[in-house]
Structure 1
Amino acid sequence: MNYSDMIGFAETWGLVYLIILFLCTLAYAFWPGNKEKFARGARLPLEDDAP
């Protein structure tokens, strides 16, 4: 395996890895069970917890 082969491997499988990572991130963000968690997180900056 020479340097050119390693570059081709990294380009191909690196792209596949990033696409899979992106799709998993989208699935996590839009999963119905996470809706309340994200809604609560969106309200956090607006809540007044100062003493």
Structure 2
Amino acid sequence: MIDYDSFRHFADSWGLLYMLAVFVLVILFMFRPGAKRHAETAAQIPLKDDRKPAGEE
């Protein structure tokens, strides 16, 4: 059975390394070639009006 001290020791060592690796991968993913177009498209989503004009159904 895993006790608190064992779990904390694992989280302090390997958990920190895992979180750092995930952070670096996310940063690399965001700055990959071609990501700018996807980021600009995602940034425009809240500004789009997807509703149909009144009277059109």
Quickly name the TM-score band, shorter chain normalised.
0.7 to 0.9
Structure 1 residue 8: deviation in Å? 2.3
| Gap runs ≥5 in structure 2 | 53-57
**Cα shift at 1:32:** 2.0
Q: 1:32 aligns to what SS in structure 2?
A: coil
Residues matched between the structures, number: 49
Query: Which of the pair has more CA radius of gyration?
Result: 2
**2:10 corresponds to:** 9
Q: In 1, distance between residues paired with 2:36 and 2:20?
A: 23
Aligned-residue offset at 1:30: 1.4
Higher helix share: 1
Length-normalised TM-score, structure 2: 0.69
TM-score, normalised with respect to structure 1? 0.75
| Residue matched to 1:47 | 48
- Which structure carries more relative contact order (alpha carbon 8 Å, separation 6+)? 1
Instruction: Structure 1: give runs of 5+ residues left out of the alignment.
Output: none
Tell me what 1:18 maps to: 19
Q: What is the percent sequence identity of the aligned residues?
A: 33
